[in-house]
Amino acid sequence: MLIACHLVRERAAPDDRLARRTIRRELGKPRKWTRACPRNFEPWYLLAAAEAAGASGRGAEAVAGYAAAIAAAQASGVVRIEALAHDHWAAHARRGGDGAAAALHLREAIGAYERWGAHGKADQLRRSFGESSAAPSYD
């Protein structure tokens, strides 16, 4: 789902009918799984829905979705989704020209990747975006 949203964002206009239909269809699976087991799937679904909103040009809805995905991930203890949601929110903010939000969520993503044990990903983000994005280590 996240890959589909990325491809739509990179290759299609937000008003592309086929792209929107594809995203809607792909969101159906995690939506169904979320109804069956919210604790396990709600963070994934909310992140996918936020990405779908962003790919469709609905920025405010995307931001609300990232916040909801992070809250659900924290409530469920799913650090990997917390990390991904902050990472994607940072990218969304960068695309929209909001440097302050991008830096904040990049720092949060790095911290969450560290807590998850994805030290290589945290280091990659630090190298890619410079020392201003450094976050505390959670070793």
Q: Are 55 and 24 in contact (CB under 8 A)?
A: no
pLDDT, residue 32, reads 75
pLDDT per residue rounded down to tens, the chain (139 residues)? 555 555 555 655 556 777 667 777 777 777 777 777 777 789 988 998 998 888 888 899 999 999 999 999 999 999 999 999 999 999 999 999 999 999 999 999 999 999 999 999 999 999 988 754 444 433 3
Which tokens go with 89?
A: 């929110």
Contacts of 56 (CB under 8 A, 6+ apart): 8, 14, 19, 20, 23
Nearest Cα residue to 85 out of 35, 42, 43: 43
pLDDT, residue 62, reads 95
Q: How many residues are given for the chain?
A: 139
pLDDT, residue 78, reads 93
Report pTM: 0.79
